[in-house]
Amino acid sequence: MQTILVTGGAGYIGSHTCVELLEKNYEVIVIDNLINSSKESLNRVKKITGKSITFYEKDILDKDALDKIFNDHKIDAVIHFAGLKAVGESTQIPLTYYHNNLTGTLILLQAMQQASVFNLVFSSSATVYGEVNQAPYTEDMPLSATNPYGLTKVMIEQFLQDTYESHNYWNISILRYFNPVGAHKSGLIGEDPNGIPNNLMPYVSQVAVGKLKQLKVFGGDYPTIDGTGVRDYIHVTDLALGHIKALEKIASQTQTSIEAYNLGTGNGSSVLEVVNAFKEASSKDIPYDIVDRRPGDLAIAYANAGKAKAQLGWEANQTLKDMCQDTWNWQTNNPNGYR
Ligand code: NAD
Ligand code: UDP
């Protein structure tokens, strides 16, 4: 069976992907410095699957640590989640973001090259479609960024393109996630944000459980169905399964390639639609107030998910209701996250 190195595997999407990898009998090795996660997530992954993970509490900026991992294990492919991801914070500490995300990825690519491991699945984001394109987004649209976090994704995609063009023994899948939400059905793993959440779903969930008083809906005058912003929410387990499909394609194809895929449902939901779906799933009231738009927010963002379906045989199956139910199950079972 194949051995997969998962960078950032203790995090939200990484831990859900580890579950799906183990369920499919991949050997899993995780490197994570736990800057935005807890080792407990990996204990829970073991509990869900009954299988073990080799864990290195190390930084991807540490080339010696990476070299040792590549020396000590025969790694078939890398899934690269490790990175800092808060848009607002990236405008406060851009150099930290550039160093961690860009330098970290360069060091990882160098270690892979040295170890002759050329199969890579990379976590990109719908943020690379920037402000100029109109939804639904297709993978061939021009990329741009409006903040340092987004720029790290645009730049890493370019690094990967250049790397592939220089040595086409690389085999690279770039996955552009839309809005990952929800939690594993078991309620044992989920999103565990530090402090007050920036993102809609964890915020709504904390209002429902009574930790936060009310939701601020950022903008009620967008040209959308009810005036609130529209996004393509995708269940984190569907997203995790997209990584398995990407690995399978890399392993099965006779010619190497670099391809980008949107991982979204192809449908948009407004903020108020999410609030209503969550109300139903939790049977709790979710008080909200419509306030000014959040600077930098788009009115509408959703995927054309056709390429992933055609080339990876992947599509999202879970509904907004599933996403809200599973978030609520995780929230009520773990009111303080992993702490
Ligand atoms: P997360 O913060 O939960 O996971 C990232 C993990 O990487 C964390 O466990 C963190 O401790 C680790 N990490 C960060 N820097 C590291 C370093 N230098 N060395 C080792 N480990 C390091 O975030 P997530 O939501 O699971 O996101 C995973 C990836 O997906 C990120 O690259 C993120 O940018 C991307 N992404 C996330 C979203 C989203 O909304 N969650 C959307 C699009 C793309
Ligand atoms: N949003 C909101 N209140 C919040 C957080 C988010 O109204 O407290 C809105 C936001 O304006 C956007 C949608 O919810 O329209 C999704 O925002 P999120 O931050 O979750 O994702 P992203 O901005 O990355 O799409």
Choose one of 34, 35, 53 to mutate for the ligand 1 pocket test, by most ligand atoms within 8 angstroms of C-beta.
35
Q: Mind listing the pLDDT tens digit for each residue in 73-92? A: 999 999 999 999 999 999 99
Rounded to whole angstroms, the Cα distance separating 203 from 4 reads 33
pLDDT in tens, 24-58: 999 999 999 999 999 999 999 999 999 999 999 99
* Over residues 261-270, mean pLDDT: 98
pTM equals 0.98
Please work out whether the CB of residue 293 comes within 6 Å of at least one atom of ligand 2.
no
For 316-330, how does the pLDDT look when each residue is reduced to its tens digit (9 = 90+)? 999 999 999 999 999
Across the range 16-24, mean pLDDT stands at 98
Ligand 1 contact, 239 CB (< 6 A): no
Instruction: Quote the pLDDT of residue 28.
Output: 98
Q: Is 198 in the pocket of ligand 2 (CB under 6 A)?
A: yes
15 alpha carbon – ligand 1 mean position (Å): 10
Across the chain, mean pLDDT equals: 97
Return the pLDDT at 320.
98
CB 280 within 8 A of CB 321: yes
Ligand 1 centre to CA of 10 (Å) is: 9
The pLDDT score that the predictor gives to residue 91 is 96
Q: 165 exposed, middle or buried (CB, 10 Å; 0-12, 13-18, 19+)? A: exposed
Alpha-carbon span 3 to 251, nearest angstrom: 12
Name the pLDDT band for 162 (thresholds 50, 70, 90). very high
State in Å: Cα 86 to ligand 1 middle: 9
- The rounded percent of the chain whose pLDDT value lies above 70 is 100
Q: Which ligand is nearest to the CA of 190?
A: 1
Residue whose CA lies nearest to ligand 2 atom number 21: 199
Measured from the CB, is residue 190 less than 6 Å from ligand 1?
A: no
